[in-house]
């Protein structure tokens, strides 16, 4: 273990730090790294991630922070699949419907983790993780792959599509539509440029192809195609729930709420999106709700940035929503059997190696990942430097982890070559600057107060990355 010194925002993790982390992960243990201030989170991750080849989920505090970090990681690691996992804007227990684009993207991220893509990096705000999703086992059990020459009839396939959350319509015009006419089934899947046409001959699937319904043209043939769940709920339970709601003449609700729930039945039976759809999803899923973290592979890495704040936020979120759920049930706005919808802080603990990044030891660390032992490890700090007015001080340089000619990455300005530390006289005092060479004649001088924004370029598979052109949008 490295010796603990005063925290320094600039000091990056050393080789010893990486060795200690790697040893802990190999043993299936969790790790706590202190001495990492808020401004040092991104530089730390930029130097850490090249040493990991496994799927990684990074949990941060806000959606803006998640989007910013994901953007930086995409630029720094162009060969890895970086996703930011969004939170629903719909508040739990609100009579509303989820935004289809958000649902689709959350399911895409879930699918990539379940597929075992080791190069996947997911960045998520705590609220997105605390919002339940469909259980990974349900997602895998419901997806269906259709191949030419399969023994299957169009009626059965249409029913399977409805069980995945597709809406039965007369004309396929938007994602989520399915139509059967004779021996042909057209399915418009999210993310596809055209509907998919499944053409049957009797009880055998004869062909699969993209189909343009406006021009009535077959665009391209496919040997097979996989349809996946398009809602964050186990839609196979929809008929049983629909029957239960219809059979309950009195849900124990006040009259206005009873009428509102009864109005849900018709659109719900046809898989239509409607205000109130979000209220029914928890009734289709298991209790307690599943989290995206349940899809992280056993050899994956889970990172919590500023865990004390995350625990506090999730705990408060769960408490407030439980209070609201109890109040709504008491006032007859929700059925008494309506479940909790929040993944609590204790359930965020996961049976994979977990890394906590914090400036000081988190007060709630034990509760946060209670089943895993922690190794307390402190990032080494550079020794503080005092600059005077003497000429001898000009030769004194602050310690930096870069060598001349090494590729580095500035969070805001992109990839450059490190050309050393230079001093400049500012307001009568000599101050150190990192000299960075960018594309062409571009140079950038980084003051000591911003040293933490520069880190070693982190893609070992690219020995000679393209330097960034300053003042352009390519970074």
Note the pLDDT tens digit of each residue in 271-311. 888 888 899 999 999 888 999 999 998 888 899 999 888 98
* Residue 19 DSSP symbol: H
- Domain locations in the chain as residue ranges: 15-137+278-378, 144-227, 391-456
- Beta strands per DSSP E along 202-358: 204-212, 217-222, 224-227, 301-305, 354-357
Q: Which fold has domain 15-137+278-378?
A: Rossmann fold (3.40.50)
What per-residue confidence (pLDDT) applies to 370? 35
**Distance between CA atoms of residues 202 and 194, nearest Å:** 25
DSSP-derived secondary structure letter, 265: H
The domain made up of 144-227 is a member of CATH 3.30.2060.10: yes
Query: What parts of the chain have a pLDDT lower than 50?
Result: 1-12, 366-395
What are the Cα distances from residue 56, in Å, to 2, 52, 53, 123, 318? Answer: 25, 8, 9, 8, 25
The SS3 of residue 143 is coil
Per CATH, domain 391-456 is 3.40.50.300: no
In what helix (H) or strand (E) does residue 111 lie, and over which residues does it extend?
helix 100-114
Give the Å distances, CA to CA, from 474 to 72, 139, 211, 305, 445. 12, 37, 37, 27, 20
Reduced to 3 states (helix: H, G, I; strand: E, B; else coil), residue 94 is coil
Rounded to whole angstroms, the Cα distance separating 361 from 474 reads 38
Distance CA 94, CA 276 (A): 7
Residue 17's pLDDT is 59
Distance between CA atoms of residues 167 and 21, nearest Å: 48
Q: 270 is written with which tokens?
A: 């046809």
C-alpha angle with apex 4: 400 to 1, nearest 5 degrees?
A: 95
Domains 144-227 and 391-456 share a fold: no
Q: Are 292 and 47 in contact (CB under 8 A)?
A: no
Lookup: tokens for 382? 């550079």
CB 218 within 8 A of CB 152: no
Tell me which residue of 2, 157, 93, 3 sits closest to 320, measured CA to CA.
Answer: 93
Contact indicator for 394, 345 with CB cutoff of 8 Å = no
DSSP for residue 206 = E
Structure tokens given for 98: 């989820």
């Amino acid at each position: 273990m490295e010796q603990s010194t005063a925290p320094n925002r600039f000091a990056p993790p050393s080789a010893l730090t990486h060795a200690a982390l790697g040893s802990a992960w190999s043993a299936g243990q969790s790790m706590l790294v202190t001495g990492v201030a808020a401004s040092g989170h991104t530089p730390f991750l930029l130097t850490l991630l090249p040493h990991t080849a496994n799927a990684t989920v990074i949990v941060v505090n806000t959606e803006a922070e998640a989007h910013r970090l994901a953007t930086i990681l995409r630029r720094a690691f162009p060969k890895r699949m970086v996703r930011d996992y969004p939170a629903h804007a719909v508040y739990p227990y609100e009579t509303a419907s989820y935004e289809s684009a958000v649902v689709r993207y959350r399911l895409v991220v879930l699918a990539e983790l379940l597929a075992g893509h080791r190069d996947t990096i997911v960045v998520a705000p705590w609220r997105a993780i605390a919002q339940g999703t469909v259980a990974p086992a349900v997602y895998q059990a419901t997806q269906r792959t259709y191949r030419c020459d399969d023994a299957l009839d169009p009626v059965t396939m249409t029913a399977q599509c409805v069980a995945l959350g597709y809406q039965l319509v007369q004309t396929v015009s938007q994602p989520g539509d399915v139509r059967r006419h004779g021996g042909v089934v057209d399915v418009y899947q999210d993310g596809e440029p055209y509907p998919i046409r499944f053409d049957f001959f009797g009880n055998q699937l004869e062909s699969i192809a993209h189909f343009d319904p406006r021009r009535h043209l077959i665009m391209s043939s496919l040997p097979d195609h996989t349809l996946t769940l398009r809602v964050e709920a186990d839609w196979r339970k929809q008929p049983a729930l629909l029957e239960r709601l219809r059979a309950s003449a009195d849900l124990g609700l006040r009259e206005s709420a009873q009428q509102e729930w009864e109005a849900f039945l018709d659109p719900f039976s046809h898989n239509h999106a409607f205000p109130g759809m979000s209220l029914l999803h928890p009734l289709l899923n298991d209790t307690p709700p599943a989290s995206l973290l349940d899809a992280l592979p056993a050899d994956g890495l889970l990172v919590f940035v500023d865990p004390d704040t995350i625990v506090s936020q999730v705990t408060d979120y769960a408490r407030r929503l439980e209070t609201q759920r109890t109040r709504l049930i008491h006032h007859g706005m929700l059925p008494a059997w309506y479940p909790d919808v929040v993944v609590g802080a204790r359930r965020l603990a996961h049976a994979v190696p977990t890394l906590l990044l914090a400036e000081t030891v988190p007060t709630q660390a034990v509760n946060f990942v209670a089943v895993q032992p922690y190794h307390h490890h402190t990032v080494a700090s550079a020794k503080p430097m005092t600059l005077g007015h003497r000429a001898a001080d000009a030769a004194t340089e602050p310690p930096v982890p870069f060598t001349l000619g090494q590729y580095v990455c500035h969070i805001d300005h992109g990839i450059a070559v490190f050309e050393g530390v230079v001093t400049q006289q500012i307001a009568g005092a000599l101050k150190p600057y990192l000299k960075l060479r960018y594309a062409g004649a571009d140079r950038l001088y980084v003051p000591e107060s911003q040293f933490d924004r520069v880190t070693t370029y982190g893609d070992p598979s690219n020995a000679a990355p393209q330097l960034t052109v300053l003042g352009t949008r390519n970074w």
